[in-house]
Structure 1
Amino acid sequence: MCTHRRGVERGNVVDGVDNPSLAHDEPERHRFITPQEVATRFGIHVSTVYRWVKRGTLTDFRQGRHIHLDIDEVSGVLNSASLSVRMDAYVNLVVAQAPPLGPDQLMRIGTVFGD
């Protein structure tokens, strides 16, 4: 699946060609940053950013050999990843605090799963 686009949109112009589909009273503005800026700003390794682009987690906008990423999309991906990490930590904490299973409970679980 190809997730990159050629040309960084600025106003109503894409790749220097007037784009009437973007021409309206208040054009949608995207803020773009480089993978290195993403890594620095969000405290992750730049290779992680490139891996997310390769996997299709992030859409990259290419202008020549330069890669740009939409900062709003990056923030959304990082917020969802952060939520997942926090949820895993919470589940691990609950499991660690749970009392050990008794012999009767272990036997019932074994019959349910066929052990």
Structure 2
Amino acid sequence: MAQPTAPDPRATLRGGLPDRYLTPADIASMFGVPIETVYQWRKKRTGPPGFRIGKHLRYDPTDVRAYVTGLKNSATAA
């Protein structure tokens, strides 16, 4: 019997975000960028807003969806 495989995180982004806080690795995988890019976005305040839980960086799926929607809207307005 075949082992179940984890869904592609990018497909998850298209079909609806998971019901949990996302890690920087999740964000990198969803957007197809290196994890270093995610940390640079945070440093420059250009990517989806993240927050800290102790020493761990997390992203709210609702904020990520709003960020993507904002990108789409600004692209169509340009």
User: Where on the TM-score scale, by shorter chain, does this alignment land: which range?
Assistant: 0.5 to 0.7
- Superposed, which structure 2 residues align to 1:1-115 within 5 Å? 31-57=20-46, 58-64=49-55, 66-88=56-78
The ranges of structure 1 where at least 4 consecutive aligned residues each deviate by more than 4 angstroms after the TM superposition are none
When you count strand as a share of all residues, which structure comes out higher? Answer: 1
State the percentage of identical aligned residues: 28
Map Cα deviations across residues 15-65 of structure 1 (whole Å, 9 max, x no partner): xxxxxxxxxxxxxxx72111110121233443342233223451322333x
* TM-score with structure 2 setting the length: 0.53
Normalised by the length of structure 1, the TM-score is 0.39
Residues 44 and 72 of structure 1: CA distance in aligned 2, closer, same or farther (over 3 Å): farther
Q: Contact between 2:50 and 2:57, CA under 8 Å: does it hold in 1? A: no
Count of paired positions = 58
Work out the CA distance in 1 between the residues paired with 2:75 and 2:35. Answer: 19
Q: Which runs of 5+ in 2 are unaligned?
A: 1-18
Q: How large is the RMSD of aligned CA atoms in angstroms?
A: 2.4
Please tell me whether the aligned partners of residues 31 and 71 of structure 1 are also in contact (alpha carbons under 8 angstroms): yes
List alignment gaps of at least 5 residues for structure 1.
1-29, 89-115
